[in-house]
Amino acid sequence: MSAPRPLPLLQACRREPTPYTPVWLMRQAGRYMPEYRAMRARHGFLELCKTPEAAAEVTLQPVKRLGVDAAILFADILLVLEPLGVGLEYTRGDGPRIHRPVRSAADVERLKPVEVEQAVPFVFETVRLARQALGDRLPLIGFAGAPFTLASYLIEGGASREFLHTKRFMREARSAWHALMGRLATVTAEYLNGQIAAGAQAVQLFDSWIGTLSPSDYREFVLPHSRSVIAAIAPGVPVIHFGTGTAGLLPLMREAGGDVLGLDWRVELGPTWERLGYDVAVQGNLDPGILLTSVGEIRRAAAEILAGAAGRPGHIFNLGHGVHQETPVDHVRALVDMVHDMSAR
């Protein structure tokens, strides 16, 4: 029986040489794809997440259409918050809302205990179905929201620009904050390990809102909890650690852990990787807005990022955040093809 062929994305996570730079995209399954819009016409968002056959189909759609080097699980970072009893609702147009936000130590104590395996079995079934369909052709990436981003949703009650409730809570109720973050870190680690047990071969920890913090706040209020999540992940499974607005936080994020550091578009990949050290892999970091321009502009921008990586082992090409819904599908496919062509060794 022959050994399975190497998968470039997993090789890049381990900083091993690859025949070309692997590429996948955050939000590569989403509203810019007609296949996804057709699914959403039949299912509400939460219903789609909780229907494993449909969620697995969405997970696989970009693999068929785009030629990417990995599938990423279709789910939502807030699914593990619903069992806490905070009144999670996905509203059309306004996004997720928390009807009973956490604003005090008493609120933290009232949160229901979460048994992850019983709380989100549909996610693990989606992973199993998607992995079965992928076989050994491509890896499947699992993901979760990082404790800070989850806590901010709980405290703010939804999306925020200033995160004032969160910042006040951190400083005025330090013990409650760390208790909340500790609970979320435990749930997140169990959630990611559950995905791995179901078949995910790498995982990404999304700290989407971490860029709102100063380095000193990150060090005190976040780093220990992100580190505990990453340290608890099943040995041998690559962890991608990603946040946005993190130019001043990347050294601390590296300290928190991860085999790969995700970079957003606000930093230059080459000099940033040099500062972080080449003994960590990096992912990124095309501005998603560039995909709305011409194919020529996309090629120029992608070539600049590849030049910054200089062919070193350990670069995964991605966007600096998710694909915008207005993005032409043909532009996304063109990006994947050109990254493969321009980086061929």
Helices (H), 163-319: 164-172, 174-198, 215-217, 223-231, 250-256, 269-276, 295-309
Q: How far apart are CA 137 and CA 5, in angstroms?
A: 8
Four-point Cα dihedral 262, 15, 254, 167, nearest 10: 20
User: Active-site residue among 20, 31, 312, 333?
Assistant: 31
- The set of long-range contacts for 287-291, using a CB threshold of 8 Å and a minimum separation of 24, is 287/319, 287/320, 288/319, 288/320, 288/321, 288/322, 288/323, 288/324, 288/327, 289/324, 291/319, 291/323, 291/324, 291/327, 291/328, 291/331, 291/332, 291/335
**CA-to-CA dists, residue 181 to 110, 166, 170, 310, 331, angstroms:** 15, 12, 10, 38, 40
42 has catalytic annotation: no
Residue 94 falls in the annotated catalytic set: no
The one catalytic residue among 15, 32, 36, 76: 76
Query: If DSSP codes are grouped into helix, strand and coil, which group holds residue 319?
Result: strand
The catalytically annotated residue of 36, 153, 191, 218 is: 153
CA atoms within 13 A on the CB side of 322: 12
Distance between first and last Cα of the chain: 29
Cα(123)–Cα(323) distance, rounded to whole angstroms?
22
- Is 76 designated active site? yes
CA neighbor of 200 nearest in space, from 102, 53, 75, 308: 75
280 with 12: CB under 8 angstroms? no
Catalytic residue among 20, 40, 65, 312: 40
Chain CA centroid to CA 190, Å: 16
Active site residue 27: yes
Q: Which of 15, 27, 128, 131 is catalytic?
A: 27
* 218 included as an active-site residue: no
Q: What are the catalytic residues?
A: 27, 31, 40, 76, 153
